[in-house]
Amino acid sequence: MVKNIAYATEEETLMGNGVNLRTLTNDGGSAVISDYGAHLLRWAPAGQPDVIWTPRTWHFEAGQPVGGGVPVCFPWFGPGFVHGGQTAKRPIHGFARLRQWALDEGAFTSARVRYVLDSERLTTGEVPWIEDEPNVRFHAAYEVCASDTLTMTLTVTNTGGEPMSYEAALHSYLHVGDVLGARLVGLRGATYLDATEAGFPPKLQEQPSVMFGDQPVDRVYYSDAALELQDHVLGRVIRIGKTGSPQTVVWNPGEQGGNAIAHAKTGEWRGFVAVEAAACRDRIVALSPGESYMLSQSIAVMPLG
């Protein structure tokens, strides 16, 4: 099924291929979210161009991630990281974004949607995901509140009888007029791991802003600071706040990688910067039985002053 997000309407909340799209519309703004992956596809405050980026055309395919939007990365990030070392797990960014989440009907309003993914409903082979944690059980709740601001909150509870650990990220593709002129401000002085180099060498953010170009930028910052993504083309600033997020992942694939993104046409990569609330690698979340952890990201838009 090929779909242009620009044409998503309320009438399309029930779609073919077993994928439901939910539309939130209120005076403050509107959003579209898919039950597949609990994947936010669109959000814009009233009167603003989209703030969440997706390729101009995209489709749902069972077992494949939807391009752009806000993938929920869980229970691992990238290829995974266990006991101090990178692993090679598949699928990349965990299975949560490739599963149908259960809609909490009672919590679905014009401004809010809540989804649940429970380990009891997953198939053997997905749980446990860490060989030495054979009895891991969890309950994940994901709530999206969308009006003139957007807030996404992932709460994971250890429902098993043994300790569990996981990685998570809210992988927001933020729409900019042109990434080549975008500036991400708020990370000066932070240490980051440079994922574009072998071994993820640690580096220091010395410049006042992160800039983007033809070369990829792929970094795990050790920072929970509030950030501003300045967009001189659209004349606005996207403000990003986070809680429970010891790291911030910043990514743009650059020209070569960007033009290889599934579903995206040549040059579309210039329309986004991914700024991700994350707890991954050596900041993995560890939960005792009964404990919960909340990872949240909120986004608002201001005129560029």
- In the β-sheet with 72-73, what is the strand arrangement from edge to edge? 72-73, 168-175, 272-279, 247-252, 217-221, 191-194, 202-204
Among 92, 111, 185, 294, binds ligand G6P (CB under 6 A): 92
Q: Can you give the C-alpha Rg of the chain in angstroms? A: 18
Size of the site for ligand G6P (CB under 6 A): 11
Least Å distance between CB 160 and ligand G6P?
A: 28
Least Å distance between CB 181 and ligand G6P?
A: 21
Active site residue 162: no
Least Å distance between CB 69 and ligand G6P?
A: 9
Of all residues in this chain, which one has the CB nearest to ligand G6P in the complex? 251
254, containing H or E segment: helix 254-258
Sort 303 into a burial class: Cβ within 10 Å, 0-12 / 13-18 / 19+. Answer: exposed
Q: Please list every residue from 224 through 263 that binds ligand G6P, using CB under 6 A.
A: 249, 251
- Cβ closest to ligand G6P, residue 114 vs residue 171: 171
- Give the span between the Cα atoms of 123 and 23, in whole angstroms: 29
Among 37, 71, 94, 271, binds ligand G6P (CB under 6 A): 71
- Give the span between the Cα atoms of 305 and 121, in whole angstroms: 49
Which has the closest alpha carbon to 51: 183, 186, 150? Answer: 150
Which tokens go with 115? Answer: 């989804």
Single out the catalytic residue among 93, 171, 175, 268.
171
255, containing H or E segment: helix 254-258
**3-state secondary structure at position 111:** coil
Q: Is 93 in the site for ligand G6P (CB under 6 A)?
A: yes
Neighbours of 198 (CB within 10 A): 7
Single out the catalytic residue among 143, 167, 268, 276.
276
- Cβ closest to ligand G6P, residue 45 vs residue 78: 78
256, containing H or E segment: helix 254-258
User: Maximum CA pair distance of the chain?
Assistant: 53
Neighbours of 123 (CB within 10 A): 8
Q: Please list every residue from 262 through 281 that binds ligand G6P, using CB under 6 A.
A: 274
- Give the span between the Cα atoms of 173 and 42, in whole angstroms: 10
Least Å distance between CB 127 and ligand G6P?
A: 22
Active site residue 276: yes
Among 5, 195, 238, 299, binds ligand G6P (CB under 6 A): 195
Beta bridge partners of 200: none
Q: Is 40 in the site for ligand G6P (CB under 6 A)?
A: no
Beta bridge partners of 287: 164
Least Å distance between CB 196 and ligand G6P?
A: 9
Among 45, 65, 75, 258, binds ligand G6P (CB under 6 A): 65
Beta bridge partners of 249: 220, 276
Least Å distance between CB 291 and ligand G6P?
A: 27
Least Å distance between CB 143 and ligand G6P?
A: 21
Q: Is 58 in the site for ligand G6P (CB under 6 A)?
A: no
- Cβ closest to ligand G6P, residue 51 vs residue 170: 170
Residues that bind ligand G6P (CB under 6 A): 65, 71, 78, 92-93, 171, 195, 218, 249, 251, 274
Catalytic residues: 171, 276
